[in-house]
Amino acid sequence: MNNKTPSPTGEYGVGTFTYTVYNDRDEVMEIGKGTKRSITARVYYPVLKESCVGCSKPVCLSENMIKGLKSAFKVAPNFKKDPTGNISECYLNAPRIEDKKFPLVMFNHGYNSYREGNSFLCIELASHGYAVISVAHTYEGLCTEFDDGSFVFFDKTITGKMYDPMIGGMIAMLKLIKAKGSNEELAKKFDEAQRKYCRFLMNRLPEWIKDNEAALKYAKDNLSDLIDFTKGVGVSGHSFGGNVAYALCAKNPDFTCGINIDGALFGDYSDVTQTKPFMQLSCSDNENVVSRVYLRHTKPVYKVLVKEMKHMGFSDAKHLIPIRSIVGKLDADVAHRIVCKCHLEFFDTFLKGLKDEPDLPNDENATSSEFDPDIA
């Protein structure tokens, strides 16, 4: 399996910088009680390739992130033999293109992932003419780094709260993964299970929505010279971040279309009808926990099932930690091309308006289908 960092394929080079939002919002996580919740984000943006000359590239994984990976998963990539394997294909603070703005896609990582956890996808999108803001979720990512040099690691007490009681919750979810039934039946089973065992995760969804709204407000106030907001905002995310993408499209008018990458829909969606075009990217392990996506929608919903994949294979881990039991058997470069193609086809259609319909992969590695409005 090839673990080389993929190079972006678009016409643009990619610049990057970070920002932190220090606001008056009270932190509700127990570990941060009595403080305000700070939100940090990384921006990836299109630049002229010739303007990148002389600019430095950031690392894919900082030392803090590597420590966080080892703490969470007992495994992390070792770059001592080949430090070039840890170099990201973007440029720090590369000069922006004057008088040119780009549509915005916001991205959310999953639980115990990190702000740059899907950087290869974000960089590819930026190289094709999108500004991308990847939002970090303090205490809930494996490490969150702020612009003042401070950082916090994942709050390990969360692990015991995700399923309560732990054994019963995990058994219920394992049964659901193997369950049979219609989308309506599977969605009902999932909702019953989450309400019994996953109240913590359900209650975190509104807080992650607020994180995005804070990051987006900063962008509107400070990055209007870079970002074109006239067509709204696209959103994507992996795992719990994909759930957030679904919620933002359903509940916030700023967001016009979205993609959920293999994320179970934790949260109260009992009165929700999806009114934006949406896509569900999944591996076979998690088909049954996303059934809600295909129900009650007034715009097209697309499904792409990627074969020989595991949940973590949808992130940079596919290249950085190429262990098949963690990321699946599908070749890393093939998986990257599928995920990027799905995003570009979808956002080119529903955010840029360049196409009438997305041309989605449908071959031996991935199958696609469409759920029409008011029929699914």
pLDDT surpasses 90 at 28: no
Residue 176 has pLDDT above 60, yes or no: yes
CB 368 within 8 A of CB 358: no
> Would you call the peptide bond into 83 cis, given omega within 30 degrees of 0 as the criterion?
no
**Rounded distance, CA 33 to CA 51, Å?**
44
pLDDT band of residue 2 (cuts 50, 70, 90) is very low
- Tell me what the mean pLDDT of segment 346-371 comes to: 97
Q: What is the CATH number of domain 13-371?
A: 3.40.50.1820
Q: How many CB atoms lie within 10 A of CB 122?
A: 29
Average pLDDT over residues 139-145: 95
For residues 353-372, average pLDDT:
97
Give the mean pLDDT of 19-39: 90
User: Under DSSP, is residue 161 helix (H, G, I), strand (E, B) or coil?
Assistant: helix
Q: Residue 154 pLDDT > 90, yes or no?
A: yes
- pLDDT value at 310 more than 70: yes
Residue 15 reports pLDDT greater than 70? yes
Overall average pLDDT of the 301-322 stretch? 96
Residue 57 CA neighbour count, 13 Å, CB half? 18
Which pLDDT score is estimated for 3?
55
pLDDT in tens, 54-113: 999 999 999 999 999 988 888 888 898 888 889 999 999 999 999 999 999 999 999 999
Band (pLDDT 50/70/90 cuts) for residue 353 is: very high
**Secondary structure percentages of the chain, helix, strand, coil, to 5:** 40, 25, 40
Average per-residue pLDDT for the chain: 95
Would you state the torsion angle of the CA atoms of residues 168, 173, 179, 184, taken in this order, to the nearest 10 degrees? 110
Contacting residues for 90 by C-beta, under 8 A, at least 6 apart = 13, 14, 15, 16, 44, 57, 58, 119, 123, 126
Asked if residue 375 has pLDDT above 70, the reply is no
* pLDDT (tens digit per residue) in 316-346: 999 999 899 999 999 999 999 999 999 999 9
pLDDT confidence of 49, banded at 50, 70, 90?
A: very high
> What's the pLDDT at 1?
35
- 199 compared with 74, residue with greater pLDDT: 199
Least confident of 45-49, 73-77, 304-308: 73-77
Four-CA torsion 256, 257, 263, 264, nearest 10 degrees = 70
Digit-coded pLDDT (tens) for 204-256: 999 999 999 999 999 999 999 999 999 999 999 999 999 999 999 999 999 99
Q: Please state the rounded mean pLDDT for residues 35-46.
A: 96
Would you state the pLDDT for residue 74? 85
- Rounded to 5°, the CA angle 8-10-13 comes to 70
